[in-house]
Structure 1
Amino acid sequence: MPPMLVAISLDLGIPLSAAVQAAGAYFLAYGVMQPVWGVVSDRVGRVRTLRLTLLLAGLASIGSAFVATPLLLGISRAVAGGFFGAAYPSTLIYVGDTVPLGVRQPAIARLMVGVALGAALASAGAGLLADVTSWRLGFVATGGAALVLVVILRRLPEPEQPDGPRPTPLAMLGAVARSRVTLFVLALSFVEGMVLLGTLTVLPPASEAAGATSTLAGLLTGVYGVSVYLSSRMVRTVSMRRHPAWLLGGGSLVLVVSMLLLALSQGPFAAAGAALLVGVAWVSMHSTLQTWATEVLPGARATVISLFAGALFAGSALTAALVAAPAEAGRYDLIFLAGAAIAVPLGVAATWGRWRWRNPSPGQRAAGTSDD
């Protein structure tokens, strides 16, 4: 949606801030509903939850193409985001259920590559459609792809679930609330969403304000996906040889540099360079935080992962709400400077916390608790 924000505002005759707020409604619903879908997937199965929500999300996304007012746009995007919100935690929990701990971070890094390449393709395609035809076709294409996935995922097997009675959702939430390290990781995810995902939301309209077309803005954002793909091998190598804190520290440093670059200029070359750096930061930081989230409270993994993903996109939604007015005024330099200021304590806290943390003992794993 970000590469189409300017086109949407022009076509509907609304301020850019209103289009940004519609994107924020999508991200907010996407984030808020993820813990709900985590609980649902525990009860009815990962794959079944994924297929049902993709069906409803696809229909809602197609419906977004036919709105004529900013209110209906915000509502339709929120509905689509709420159902699409099941995809991220269900997929990540599936990896946690089926991939051994020793090779889980490389597997999650590969998953992030797929997500990033999909985002790059969608970003470039959305910008091209907004320029050549209509932004409405972007929503139709997204919805159609979701419906195709509903059919394809029929072949995906459900992961095996442990025998015996399952803890209630309230018991799982109680375990999370009692684990200080889990709450710490969730807070890091929220702030990461503010900076990393918030940047990807603001970057296309910022580059368009600097003179880029919608197509070029989409392609510039697509550089991020290429960067994730190219840097993932490096991150997998480092993750096997170094402590995860190295990836968090290095990734946060790269993130700060990208924010400062965008604060200086939002022109095509600066935007492409920043997108390249954000891709490196995403693979380094996010895959490490995600792997950490699968480890901190093994007995409540599905709940933790859902809350982690929800916090990530809730942070992104907050950024969309906070930057709507500055973006309308064209003050993108202040937006990215604020991002750099937030990225510094994020990197310090994440690096320090991961360096101090140690895996739970076998007894704690069985009990669903962790060291704090």
Structure 2
Amino acid sequence: MSNRNIGIKDVAVAAGVSVTTVSHVLNEVSYARVSPGTKDRVRSAAEQLGYGPNRLARALRTQRTGMLGLVSEDIATTPHAGRIILGADEAAKARGYNLMIINTSASASLESREADVEALLERRVDGILYATMYHRNVELPANLGSVPSVLVDSVAAGGDITAVIPDEEGGARAAVAALLEAGHTRVGFINNTDDVPATHQRLRAFRATLSDAGLDGGAAPVESAVSEVQGGYEAALRILAREDRADVPTALFCYNDRMAIGAYRAAAELGLRIPEDLSVAGFDNQELIAANIHPGLTTVALPHYEMGAWATEHLIDAVEGKTDLSLMALHPTILGCPLVRRDSIAAPRA
């Protein structure tokens, strides 16, 4: 018998159960009372026979297509996008869904982004993930609420859509704490100039962590610049080239890994060795950068994969009626940013 001719009755016979039980198990009917052993037997029989539920028939019955949409900003040029997509795709496939991706831009007009969402709605996606290129507040297309939706790495101005974001303050605290634990008491911060949540939250955490350690967090040197290599270089020079050497930090916390590269360059020009003369910590854990510069950069990992997977799991639960996203929309879910230790931190010289 070919796989094409195998039906649900064949699976039922092979598993020694009723057709109804097979249907309940393979369609994951939540209210069905089927023992774990019977479920395993049914799934094993279906796998051996090469049988799978007819997706079209399921769609007609459930009014779901098994497709999810993902609107992602600047997929081709943003390092994090791939990890968010991977987390979302693997979580979707594990639940029997497929992902349809549309690329947009952080600079795209609201009308353009509405058209992107409409393109997904026309293809009858069951739900939509909306991911931004960095943690920020975003004005959302009005049609995003037409189906269950979850924001990834962003929050809506109105706060009326479920969102998952990174723990910016917790990550910054971990990075600064690593510098303090190594014995540093003069720590500077190279910050971003953009008016985004990460800029303010990481600065707040930097000062608070120093203050909690008995240091004057408000007086600690902070220089802001564009969050790229050149900006990090310029900000680091301003901090490290101070005339009063007693005020020069022995450690720097950098807003992101790209700015940390700039700090490495500035240190080299000033004849400072990392980590012997200057310890450096970053943020983002962009592995092509952090793991491959010398010495390897101690930094904080943003949970891009985890955010993509979390958002997809809860989106599917909402699509299947297992959860109410509106109950989660009042406060964004915050996922941890773990410290990744490498070789850029050492005790200050006596």
Range of TM-score over shorter length:
under 0.3
More helix by share: 1
More strand by share: 2
Structure with bigger gyration radius? 2
Q: Give the TM-score normalised by the residue count of structure 2.
A: 0.26
* More relative contact order, 1 or 2 (CA 8 Å, 6+ apart): 1
Q: Give the TM-score normalised by the residue count of structure 1.
A: 0.25
